[in-house]
C-alpha cells in the first residue's frame, strides 16, 4: 500500500457526534472527501441536515443526519441502531460533542451544571464507545476517536467541570484501547484552542496577544487544522497506534 492510500476511507462509515459545526463539521467533510459515508449527530436536526446536504453536494458520499443528545444515556442506543440500520456498519466513531458552562466563582457551580458538563463530555463518550465498540468487535473492527482538550492537563479555575470531564476522556481512551483491542483502536485528539463558534464569547484581541507570546505557533487553530490528526486515527495510517493521546494545540505552554 502506498503512503497516500493508507489514508483512504473508501467503503467506510464514520459517525461523528457534534458533527454539525466546528471541529466536528470539519472532520465530517474530511472523512467524506476521503471516501467515507457519514453519520452526523447533534441535538439540532436541522443543522445536521444542512451538513449532510453539503456532504452530498460536495463529495457525492451518503450522509445521514440524526438528532441525539449525547448527554442522555437512553438516546444513545437509538443513535447506534439508526446508524447501523441505515449503513449496516460503523467503522469510525468520533466522540466530538462537548461543552463548557461559564461561571464567575467556583461556588456558582451547581450540581445541575456539573452534571450537564460531565454527562456530555464524559458519560456519553463512555456509553457510546461501548455500544459501538462492541459491535465493531463483532464485525471487522474499527477506530474510535475521542476529542479531549488541553484543559484536561492545563486546568484553570474557570473550566474545572469541563477539565475534569476531559481528563476522564484521556483515561477512558487508554482503558478502552485495552478493552477493545486488537481489532478496534481507540485514540484521542487533545485539542487546544480552535477558532470555532464557541470562541465568540472570548476576548479575541487579548487571546491573540497572549498566543503570539506564549504559543509555539503564535496563534489559535482553524477547524480544518484538526483534519490531519482525525484522518490519521480514522484510517490505516494509524494501524499500529492505539491508546494514544495526541496534542493538537499549536504548542501551548
Give catalytic residues, as residue numbers.
162
* C-alpha span between 85 and 215 (Å, rounded): 45
Cα dihedral 101, 104, 105, 108 sign: negative
- Rounded to a whole number of angstroms, the distance between the first and last alpha carbons of the chain is 38
Distances (CA, A) of 104 to 42, 109, 158: 28, 9, 7
**Contact predicate 104/32, CB 8 Å:** no
The x, y and z cell numbers of residue 226, run together, are 484538526
Q: For residue 245, give the H/E element and its range.
A: strand 245-248
**Contact predicate 64/38, CB 8 Å:** yes
Buried b (16+ CB within 10 A) or exposed e, 207-221: eeeebeeebeeeebb
**Contact predicate 145/93, CB 8 Å:** yes
41: helix, coil or strand? Answer: strand
The x, y and z cell numbers of residue 181, run together, are 483491542
Amino acid at each position: 500500500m502506498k503512503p497516500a492510500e493508507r489514508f483512504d476511507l473508501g467503503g467506510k462509515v464514520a459517525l461523528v457526534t457534534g458533527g454539525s459545526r466546528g471541529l466536528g463539521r470539519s472532520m465530517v467533510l474530511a472523512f467524506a472527501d476521503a471516501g467515507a459515508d457519514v453519520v452526523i449527530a447533534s441535538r439540532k436536526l436541522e443543522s445536521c441536515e444542512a451538513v449532510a446536504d453539503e456532504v452530498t453536494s460536495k463529495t457525492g458520499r451518503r450522509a445521514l443526519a440524526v438528532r441525539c443528545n449525547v448527554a442522555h444515556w437512553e438516546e444513545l442506543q437509538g443513535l447506534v441502531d439508526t446508524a447501523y440500520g441505515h449503513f449496516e456498519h460503523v467503522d469510525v466513531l468520533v466522540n466530538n460533542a462537548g461543552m463548557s458552562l461559564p461561571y464567575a466563582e467556583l461556588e456558582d457551580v451547581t450540581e445541575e451544571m456539573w452534571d450537564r458538563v460531565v454527562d456530555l463530555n464524559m458519560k456519553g463518550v463512555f456509553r457510546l464507545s461501548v455500544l459501538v465498540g462492541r459491535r465493531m468487535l463483532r464485525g471487522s473492527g474499527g477506530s474510535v476517536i475521542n476529542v479531549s482538550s488541553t484543559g484536561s492537563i492545563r486546568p484553570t479555575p474557570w473550566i474545572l467541570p469541563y477539565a475534569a470531564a476531559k481528563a476522564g476522556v484521556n483515561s477512558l481512551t487508554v482503558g478502552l484501547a485495552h478493552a477493545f483491542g486488537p481489532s478496534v483502536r481507540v485514540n484521542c485528539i487533545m485539542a487546544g484552542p480552535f477558532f470555532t463558534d464557541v470562541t465568540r464569547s472570548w476576548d479575541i484581541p487579548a487571546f491573540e496577544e497572549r498566543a503570539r507570546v506564549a504559543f509555539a505557533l503564535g496563534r489559535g487553530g482553524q477547524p480544518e487544522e484538526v483534519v490531519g490528526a482525525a484522518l490519521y486515527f480514522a484510517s490505516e495510517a494509524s494501524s499500529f497506534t492505539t491508546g494514544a493521546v495526541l496534542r493538537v494545540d499549536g504548542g501551548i505552554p
